[in-house]
Amino acid sequence: MRLALQYCPYCGEQDLRPREETPETPAGAWECADCRSTFVVTPVPAPARGSA
Ligand SMILES: [Zn+2]
């Protein structure tokens, strides 16, 4: 499954914009255009495949 953020976790708005990476903003940060919240999506690696 691909990492796709569709909804603001705070207000549920769908108008999300990726933030530029700056010294104050960590990589992977998104900003909600509605409530202006900034949040970071942490990629979670897929479970290891079964042994072949
Ligand atoms: Zn929001």
Q: What is the pLDDT of residue 26?
A: 83
Residue pLDDT, tens place only, 12-30: 999 999 998 889 888 889 9
Q: What is the pLDDT of residue 17?
A: 92
Does pLDDT of 47 surpass 50? yes
- Residues, beta carbon < 5 Å, ion ligand 1: 8, 10-11, 13, 32, 34-35, 37
Burial class (CB within 10 angstroms; exposed 0-12, middle 13-18, buried 19+) of 32: buried
Spacing, Cα 51 to ligand 1 middle (Å):
42
Spacing, Cα 29 to ligand 1 middle (Å):
13
Question: Residue 52 carries which DSSP code?
Answer: -
pTM, two decimals, is: 0.64
Percentage of the chain exceeding pLDDT 70: 90
Spacing, Cα 9 to ligand 1 middle (Å):
7
